[in-house]
């Protein structure tokens, strides 16, 4: 696949084939992703690649805590709720997904099932937990660098026939993830990425989120002088 096909074709995958991903393929994908830029080449990231029983234990405890009403305990900071344009975009993709899945607005059972899928990391055969060095926690650059790595990861995976979804629900209860993934205390859990071979029969996997046009998101300054 050429670069444009990867960028234009990639989409978030929320259901996967029951097919193992070979370790050598994962190592190839990670090797490509690790070419992501980082501040002054600090490369603050670590990847904890999980499959099998350890991942199943994380899924089970995540789900158990969620159903029991245990408050989230993420190590990465978020906000309580989006507002304005950000909320509008959040609702837009939710509507696309629910329409694709045939989930009615008042169907509480199916909506709950969809939420639980997220806590199970969409039953993906692989989860990659992204962490960074705790010594860098007081700044914002390490988190930015991790975002660059994750972007490289999902695109490299797509170029190898794999699908991903960046998934904060999977690390909603970070102590559970830390325990089963054996993450050392000197690392901060940032995010996780569910990964596997896409199930092409799953309706939500065909959903492509809308993107703002360049004219809306980019402000060009000084180009008038160049054309004068």
What residues form DSSP beta bridges with 200?
A: none
The pLDDT tens digits for 196-206 are 999 999 999 99
The pLDDT tens digits for 28-74 are 999 999 999 999 999 999 999 999 999 999 999 999 999 999 998 98
The pLDDT tens digits for 101-139 are 999 989 999 999 999 999 999 999 999 999 999 999 999
pTM of the model: 0.94
Q: Which residues contact 111 (CB under 8 A, 6 or more apart)?
A: 98, 103
Torsion angle of C-alpha atoms 208, 7, 119, 123, degrees rounded to 10? 90
Q: How far is CA 156 from the centre of its chain?
A: 14
Residue 186: pLDDT band (50, 70, 90) is very high
Instruction: Return the pLDDT at 228.
Output: 63
Instruction: Give the three-state DSSP class for 27.
Output: helix
């Amino acid at each position: 696949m050429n670069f444009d096909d990867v960028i234009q074709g990639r989409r978030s995958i929320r259901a996967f084939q029951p097919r193992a991903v070979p370790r050598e393929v994962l190592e190839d994908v990670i090797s490509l992703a690790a070419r992501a830029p980082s501040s002054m080449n600090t490369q603050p990231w670590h990847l904890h690649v999980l499959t099998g029983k350890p991942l199943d234990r994380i899924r089970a405890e995540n789900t158990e805590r969620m159903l029991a009403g245990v408050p989230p305990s993420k190590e990465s900071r978020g906000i309580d709720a989006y507002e304005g344009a950000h909320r509008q975009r959040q609702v837009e993709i939710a509507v696309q997904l629910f329409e694709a899945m045939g989930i009615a607005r008042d169907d509480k059972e199916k909506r709950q099932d969809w939420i639980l899928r997220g806590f199970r990391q969409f039953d993906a055969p692989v989860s990659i937990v992204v962490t960074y060095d705790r010594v860098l926690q007081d700044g914002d650059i390490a988190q930015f660098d991790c975002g660059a790595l994750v972007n490289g990861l999902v695109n490299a995976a797509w170029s190898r026939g794999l699908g991903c979804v960046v998934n904060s629900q999977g690390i909603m209860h970070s102590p559970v993830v830390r325990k089963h993934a054996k993450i050392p205390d000197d690392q901060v859990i940032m995010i996780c990425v569910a990964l596997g071979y896409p199930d092409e029969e799953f309706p939500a996997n065909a959903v492509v989120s809308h993107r703002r046009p360049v004219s809306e998101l980019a402000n060009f300054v000084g180009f008038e002088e160049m054309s004068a």
